[in-house]
Chains A and B, each alone.
Chain A
């Protein structure tokens, strides 16, 4: 075989400005300092799991449709598990953890005795995080869902149209000590990711949105 450069992975999103490569992923190097920011989380590992809505797979994953869980131990420690649909989960893990996470979820599936499956969609989905107190206002311009605490409290998830793109929306507030900041993960199929991100930035101009990470942004 020919000698070729080491593979470089690119997320679905590109923004003007400098790039950086971390763990084989090339993403924007833009730094956000404002109160509302859109961060590309494309490099995160993304697994979809299918199984009975209320069985042992659900028990092992720790959550059900419409809610999230952050397992503290076991094979999914450190991951965010999202109940993205009836009998459907999205498992998000740190970049580079795909192999062990896939093995962990695979073991859950295999041990369940149920008909269940897991598919690695890391490369097939776009994932962004929208953080800031104005995030619900911004989303109200592109999504018809009531985002108040009463309907979408922290730790909840739903699938709906966001700027006319089918999107998983996950309320996942950021905690900094006692302070909490509104934050949402938005997850859609990859080819629409740039459009979705552009739509969010366009809708967020009046709230001073910035693209980039404020700091190392964990899951």
Chain B
């Protein structure tokens, strides 16, 4: 859709007639905008090819100097075509396909790409030399915030508007026998032979089509591509991923892949465990370093052939082709066939390009013989870089071969699980490369099969496996290639992503950074979006020149994951954030409960007025959903031994039908959890834990059983969510429950701290505990979870005349604070031992042993430990915030408020807090420093409980 008022660009004038290998659909035309001007494209066009077809030469401004930049590689690595598309920054425009309505803009240019004010940086170049970050913004330190603001204005990246829609990122796992990285002829052949040998193959290609360089080749190339692609597509054992990349390889072929081009998914991260990794990454054409080598119109031969043969775009009208290899010769031939005037400069005959000149683009080319040729296109074909990243990540550093003028893999250092094929491994004819890849594919399948057999043998009852030694794949030869890296060591750019010049490299070496690794970090050469694929070898060559060493002696920098930049969204992948719900959750939602996120649980915090909920419990009856309370089913004759070991109090004499409160401590005596355990039958117990401690206590108990007492006959089954748990609290709770259960609720038949089983609201197998956290007469009902909602609704309906109302977690917190019950993890912390929590009457040091006993015995003997105390603010209008510090003795911190609320029952604030021992006596007045800096006074109370300290209300 065209935006009203938008300018329109005339029809493309660089588009050629139909080409045999073109990938565009000429039957359809789509529109998109480029810096506000509407352009047309065909489906299959990249943004860059469509713009090039319209005659656009300048796509961006450079990183530091804001120099004009155009297409260099015309593929995903192109440093001159990184653009903003809608809300998405840093889009590789030479890779991203045009879509109707795309809004494409240049990045960090103002007021326009053509007239960019920041190009003034070119004049300030002498101040922006090598390592200027490290030299310029050091002192004074206080100005760094200002520096940062200024520097941010020059960040060469696009924009992510704050209101951008968050795209959907996905994740997937894969376990192919053979994973082939690269879908060129070698990758296709390797995948085919591996699949035909019985392997499950994943073939990953970074570009949108399979075929690699065959796509822009001659008729024989296209025929071979068609054959291989058709065979791959017909092979059921091959999963093909295009527009995808193997970004990283870790131990044991644990591979990170990023898949793009999926419907409704921005990117998908694939974590693949491959039996064998076949690296078929091909070769990447290396730019040449010379003065003016970054001008729009300077392109690699592969870029020219892509534009001509894939997108039918004529990249210029008069070209100089500087060639040192047959691929450059082919580019010259393709240009001529497209009607371009071509002048060939053959490096094999000693001629060299030394300079390109022009304003905003190439206008003339100067040669080493002093001649000057007017041209709008300069094509270089001076050599190749083997993208050995995945091999480096496999532990195999490449070695430099001067006869081939490139680094090549070291087969002796490559692990058995990794095989290199195609151009990255060596040179040969089409037939030789395919034959080599086929052999490698078969061997890859055999190695993967052998590995799978070893894995299978490791399983119970697995078949025995005979180790199969890896058989070497015959090596490919190397074609001689002249060493061509730079025209002179002082002219041109080495890294066009980072605006690092050849001169910068020499300066860095002169300043003492005399290794590739140091130069990389000091100059940032190879650290841009191309990640060294275009820059590393030229950088190494210049370092070698400056240090007087050979390239082999200098060595390449280390290629680490990721092979190519990927988005943080892809790394984050799909969000998995489990949440847990009680069976009563639909009712809570229907009744507008305010949700509380408690760990993974979603709980009702309140239903509108927590204070009213508190008053209703004190005066009548309320119910709360306490399903998250941890519950463990314990069975076996040795359960009492376990309880005695885990809890600090005694359990040997717990009778059937009885419930007891207990506290667990870790070995260091610190309070770990608390709860009650009831004895349902002779060898059958039900333990409850705190909601957040359910998993911890289960692991804690299993740890003791499995490591210290495997001889004990005990089975533990977590049953937290087997029951919906409902606490019925308040003076009318017995009256309500009696209407729904067959259990005798009389105080003499079912007294405080007892357990019964029975039927509630027609539901069998319910467990009733007469306990309570609220200080009121209450019953904790554990109902088979599937009936939780039924029982809740029955309670609400049956209790309507009693004024029943639900209460949430906030009301429960207030009720328990009024009653003085502590919460593990809130009123205790990672240092709170049992005596500090006021558990003197619970800890039984006369037991033979229990977890934490030595530490607690020591604490008891030592004394002088912090104490949890009840606190009452004297100013009843002030509720000290939880975690407020208690200060005394001249301003020292002597404690903190652990819980505080306004008590609806008492009408004044109440607190629990931890204080130093000498300040714990009842009546002691303490100063609390509030968040606003003011102080208030609190008084230590006689008991933790502020309400009904004798516990009379819960025993009726």
A20 within 8 A of B: no
Which residues of B in the span 780-796 have a Cβ within 8 Å of any Cβ on A?
Answer: 784-791, 794
A96 within 8 A of B: no
A111 and B80 alpha carbons, distance in the complex (Å): 78
Q: Decide: A144 and B173 in contact? CB cutoff 8 A.
A: yes
Contact pick for B722, options A65, A123, A143, CB 8 Å: A123
A14 and B590 alpha carbons, distance in the complex (Å): 14
Taking CB atoms, residues of chain B closer than 8 Å to A148 are 175, 200
A143 and B798 alpha carbons, distance in the complex (Å): 46
The segment from A5-13, A168-176, A208-216 found at the interface with B is: A5-13
CB distance from A201 to the nearest CB of B (A): 13
B234 within 8 A of A: no
Taking CB atoms, residues of chain B closer than 8 Å to A191 are 580-582, 601, 627-628, 720-721
Interface residues contributed by chain A, number (CB under 8 Å):
52
CB distance from A97 to the nearest CB of B (A): 15
A192 within 8 A of B: yes
CB distance from A80 to the nearest CB of B (A): 19
A83 and B601 alpha carbons, distance in the complex (Å): 29
Number of A-B contacts (CB under 8 A): 138
B741 within 8 A of A: yes
Contact pick for B787, options A42, A123, A165, A206, CB 8 Å: A123
Q: Decide: B175 and A124 in contact? CB cutoff 8 A.
A: no
A192 and B580 alpha carbons, distance in the complex (Å): 5
Contact pick for A164, options B452, B576, B723, B791, CB 8 Å: B576
B263 within 8 A of A: yes
Q: Decide: A117 and B580 in contact? CB cutoff 8 A.
A: no
A50 within 8 A of B: yes
Q: Decide: A4 and B797 in contact? CB cutoff 8 A.
A: yes
Q: Which of B577, B715, B718, B786 has the most CB of A within 10 A?
A: B786
Q: Decide: B627 and A7 in contact? CB cutoff 8 A.
A: no
A8, closest chain B residue (CB): B790
A84 and B547 alpha carbons, distance in the complex (Å): 65
CB distance from B453 to the nearest CB of A (A): 10
Q: What does DSSP make chain B's interface, helix, strand, loop or mixed?
A: mixed
A150, closest chain B residue (CB): B452
Q: Decide: A4 and B761 in contact? CB cutoff 8 A.
A: yes
Q: Decide: A123 and B785 in contact? CB cutoff 8 A.
A: yes
CB distance from A106 to the nearest CB of B (A): 12
B588 within 8 A of A: no
Taking CB atoms, residues of chain B closer than 8 Å to A206 are 262-265
B742 within 8 A of A: yes
Contact pick for B717, options A121, A123, A165, A205, CB 8 Å: A121
A63 within 8 A of B: no
Contact pick for A199, options B576, B633, B721, CB 8 Å: B576
B636 within 8 A of A: yes
Contact pick for A65, options B460, B582, B586, B797, CB 8 Å: B460
Q: Decide: B721 and A190 in contact? CB cutoff 8 A.
A: yes
Q: Decide: B170 and A141 in contact? CB cutoff 8 A.
A: yes
Q: Decide: A143 and B717 in contact? CB cutoff 8 A.
A: no
Taking CB atoms, residues of chain B closer than 8 Å to A119 are 633, 635, 717, 719
0 or 1 for each of A84-101: is its CB under 8 Å from B? (1 = yes): 000000000000000000
Q: Decide: A117 and B715 in contact? CB cutoff 8 A.
A: yes
Q: Decide: B720 and A140 in contact? CB cutoff 8 A.
A: no
Taking CB atoms, residues of chain A closer than 8 Å to B762 are 4, 6-7
Q: Decide: B173 and A143 in contact? CB cutoff 8 A.
A: yes
Known interface pairs A10-B789, A206-B263; A121-B601 also in contact (CB < 8 Å): no
B756 within 8 A of A: no
Taking CB atoms, residues of chain A closer than 8 Å to B742 are 1
Q: Decide: A190 and B722 in contact? CB cutoff 8 A.
A: yes
A87, closest chain B residue (CB): B715
Taking CB atoms, residues of chain B closer than 8 Å to A142 are 576
Taking CB atoms, residues of chain B closer than 8 Å to A2 are 739-740, 794, 798
Q: Decide: B784 and A123 in contact? CB cutoff 8 A.
A: yes
CB distance from B699 to the nearest CB of A (A): 12
Q: Decide: A146 and B273 in contact? CB cutoff 8 A.
A: yes
Contact pick for B578, options A50, A117, A164, CB 8 Å: A164
0 or 1 for each of A175-219: is its CB under 8 Å from B? (1 = yes): 000000000000001111011100100010110000000000000
Q: Decide: B740 and A163 in contact? CB cutoff 8 A.
A: no
B196 within 8 A of A: no
Taking CB atoms, residues of chain B closer than 8 Å to A123 are 722-723, 784-787
Which residues of B in the span 574-593 have a Cβ within 8 Å of any Cβ on A?
Answer: 574, 576-583, 586
Which residues of A in the span 1-56 have a Cβ within 8 Å of any Cβ on B?
Answer: 1-2, 4-12, 14, 25, 42, 48, 50
CB distance from B264 to the nearest CB of A (A): 7
A122 within 8 A of B: yes
A42, closest chain B residue (CB): B786
B171 within 8 A of A: yes
Q: Which of A123, A141, A151 has the most CB of B within 10 A?
A: A123
Contact pick for B739, options A1, A9, A117, A199, CB 8 Å: A1
B343 within 8 A of A: no
Instruction: List 20 A-B residue pairs with CB atoms under 8 Å apart, sorted by A's residue number.
Output: A2-B739, A7-B763, A8-B790, A10-B788, A64-B460, A119-B633, A123-B786, A124-B722, A148-B200, A151-B175, A189-B721, A190-B583, A190-B721, A191-B601, A191-B628, A191-B720, A192-B578, A192-B600, A196-B578, A206-B263
8 residue pairs, one from A and one from B, having the closest CB atoms: A124-B722, A146-B175, A191-B580, A9-B786, A190-B721, A123-B784, A164-B576, A123-B785
Other contacts beyond A12-B583, A206-B264: 9, CB < 8 A? A7-B787, A10-B788, A64-B460, A123-B784, A124-B719, A145-B173, A164-B576, A191-B720, A191-B721
